[in-house]
Chains A and B, each alone.
Chain A
């Protein structure tokens, strides 16, 4: 079956702009999580959605938001971009979260200039 798909793969944005990233989970998976990966901080949890509801949120400012649609596809939005938002953003899906395996996408590389 198809894996987790993230679009776009690469983005270049200017400070102050906003950006929307998309994630299509594996068919049948209802949990989608987002992570930010940087060389300094590693992989950091942003938020998790299950059946269109945000169940948990990491320690990121309110500029970072997300949503999940009825088909389990998810988007994350970052408003008022800062240089420090440059990172690889990873999406992962799993059947229900918890101790089940998380399947990761290839990521979206965001560069803020």
Chain B
């Protein structure tokens, strides 16, 4: 069975501070991992995926297979980063489904 755990429901930081949103996963195969974000009154949208290894809006995430983690990081948080963040794991292939963590609500204070 595949599982995604986001240990923090809420995370509050000040503008300019570093931020790290934690994500741990459990999956027997080779995981495809994503971070999705939902800003206030907007639909859920992809922030980044591990396979593309890119930085989006200053966020990065590194897949650590040894620790089964995919933490999301940003060195200097901005107020517009305030949103709900979901880590997700895809089983891929013909047995496709996305398994989501329960999300972390990030608040960046001025």
Contact = CB atoms under 8 A, between A and B. Distances in A.
Specify whether A and B are partners: yes
Interface of A: 3-4, 31, 33, 35, 42-45, 48, 50, 55-56, 58, 90, 92, 97-99, 101-107
Contacts of B102: 42
B43 A99 contact: no
A104 B51 contact: no
B16 interface: no
A58 B91 CA distance: 13
Given A42-B103, A99-B92, 17 more contacts: A33-B98, A42-B100, A42-B101, A44-B100, A48-B97, A50-B96, A55-B96, A58-B97, A98-B32, A98-B93, A99-B51, A99-B90, A102-B46, A103-B46, A104-B45, A106-B43, A107-B43
B95 A56 contact: yes
B49 A56 contact: no
